[in-house]
Structure 1
Amino acid sequence: MSVQDDRREKQMVDRFNLEVPEDRKRSDVDAYLTIDGQTVAFELKSATNKGVSTVRDLGPNHFSKWKNIHWIFGVYDSTGNQLLHSYYASPDDMVPWISEKEAYVRPDVELAEHAVRGVSTDSVTDLLGEKDFYTKEDAKWIMKNQWRKERYVEAADLSVGTELRYSLHRMVELMQERCHYVMSRGATLNNPHIPASYIAKLPRITSEPAINLRRLVRAYLESTSSTDDATA
């Protein structure tokens, strides 16, 4: 995140009186709102006349993350310093745009799944040879920097003392996971923009941002609760 984007995000957090966990990581939810005993997750974006940039490598993980996310789009002046007004989007408001992108990458995702199913014991032995067990060095050669050291410990199923060892079956699982990771990275879109015309149709907040945001969120939560009750 650029310094300017970070500053804008903090400005929106303050303006809408949102909460940000102290240990938040870059890939985590941007902010939260606690309302009527519920915790609502928010994605915060800066809007321009060209629309809103999203993320690099948009793919299945983002679609899953955004399923229940609420959005705030902050529109700034030409200097990029002053927040003029904002737009609020409920999860339902974002369904058309997200569904369109999800449909676009679906063939590549399915291809990745088929490729994973093709990984077998022969795949492991062709690369690493037939062994009684495989070492952490073998596992790291497959997984590279995808895993943290804790994952290697958890995955080792034939360990002796502190020496990490992996069965052939477990190495197949590692290779399948690596295959899915490599393939799915290609099943993404590079920073697709949400058009300004799409954002302009959303509820606009021009005054009392914290109060009006809560009014809109509460209306959405009440509507979804009524729908759930009606279909129960």
Structure 2
Amino acid sequence: MPNESFQDDGREDQMRALFGMRKDESEGRSGIDAYLDINGVSIPFELKTTSDKRNSVTTVRDFGPEHIKKWAGKHWLFGFYANGDIYYKYATPEMMKPWIDDMENYISPDFKLAEISNQNLELEDLYKIFPKKSVYTLEDAKSLQKRQYLASKYLELQDISGGYSPARMLQILRERLRYLVERGSTLNNPHIPGSYFEKWEKITQDHEIHLRKMATKYLEKPNP
């Protein structure tokens, strides 16, 4: 079975070529999937493809608040490769907003809990994990945050000679708790159901011309 990530990358390359879009390679793999340039405006696009027979579309692993921010104002282009047919559907930011809002509402309480819980930790909680001492070592700090910090970050956080004060270790402990709660609060690859796209217009020919007309119509709205 072909590697799904490799297959998706290939399909995204095909979509960019088919629709006259470009990828800013300087942004790296985590950057914007594609841009469509219209009259001096570069429109950012999220590209998604699916081979699911129900036309359900997978999104991202560990969906959290950073994805909500990333998708704000994005346009979307979906490629459907199932049921012996290939077609595409375009979505404006407004068309995707109901689904994104639903996902945000679903995870929001858990992320608020992460914020509340980490702020409630006190020095006495630190002393339940480590013996009370005036200076904590680099090894102590690493035993908490593991590989979540770069070596440079560990050095930057040292606030006294030889390591970390109890107050600074408490800060690291709070950040660790927040990370753990948030990690457990993310959604694992939430799907957009096929019913969400069902009534949207299909793009089956003159792909670039069709998409440009639809995107231009959006740009010409009074308050897009």
TM-score band by shorter chain is: 0.7 to 0.9
Equivalent of 1:14 in 13, 17, 34 = 17
Which secondary structure does the structure 2 equivalent of 1:98 belong to? helix
- The range that moved more, 93-102 or 192-201, is 192-201
Which secondary structure does the structure 1 equivalent of 2:186 belong to? coil
CA contact (8 A) 2:22 2:36 kept: yes
Alignment of 1:145-184 (within 5 A): 145-158=147-160, 165-184=163-182
CA contact (8 A) 1:89 1:203 kept: no
Letter in 2 for 1:74: G
Output one character per residue of 1:106-134: Cα deviation in whole Å (capped at 9) or x when no partner.
22222222211212222323323333333
Q: TM-score, normalised by structure 2?
A: 0.84
What's the C-alpha RMSD, in Å, of the aligned pairs?
2.4
Call closer, same or farther: CA 1:13–1:149 in 2, change over 3 Å: farther
**In the alignment, what sits opposite 1:56?**
61
Equivalent of 2:93 in 72, 91, 94 = 91
**In the alignment, what sits opposite 1:29?**
32
Call closer, same or farther: CA 1:33–1:124 in 2, change over 3 Å: farther
CA distance in 2, matches of 1:119, 1:21: 43
CA contact (8 A) 2:62 2:187 kept: yes
Output one character per residue of 1:142-185: Cα deviation in whole Å (capped at 9) or x when no partner.
11121222322333333x5xx6x333332222222211111011
Deviation at 1:77, TM superposition (A): 4.6
CA contact (8 A) 2:123 2:167 kept: yes
Equivalent of 1:210 in 202, 208, 211 = 208
CA distance in 1, matches of 2:96, 2:176: 31
Identity %: 42
Call closer, same or farther: CA 1:209–1:181 in 2, change over 3 Å: same
- The range that moved more, 45-54 or 165-174, is 165-174
1:45 aligns with 2:48: yes
**In the alignment, what sits opposite 1:4?**
7
CA distance in 2, matches of 1:129, 1:36: 64
Which secondary structure does the structure 2 equivalent of 1:58 belong to? coil
1:135 aligns with 2:133: no
Which secondary structure does the structure 2 equivalent of 1:146 belong to? coil
Which secondary structure does the structure 2 equivalent of 1:166 belong to? coil
Output one character per residue of 1:36-55: Cα deviation in whole Å (capped at 9) or x when no partner.
33333221111343211112
Counting matched residue pairs gives 219
Call closer, same or farther: CA 1:139–1:197 in 2, change over 3 Å: same
**In the alignment, what sits opposite 1:69?**
74
**In the alignment, what sits opposite 1:100?**
102
CA distance in 1, matches of 2:166, 2:40: 49
Which secondary structure does the structure 2 equivalent of 1:134 belong to? coil
CA distance in 1, matches of 2:43, 2:173: 37
Which ranges of structure 2 fall in alignment gaps of 5 or more residues?
none
Call closer, same or farther: CA 1:141–1:204 in 2, change over 3 Å: same
Which secondary structure does the structure 2 equivalent of 1:204 belong to? coil
CA contact (8 A) 1:49 1:196 kept: no
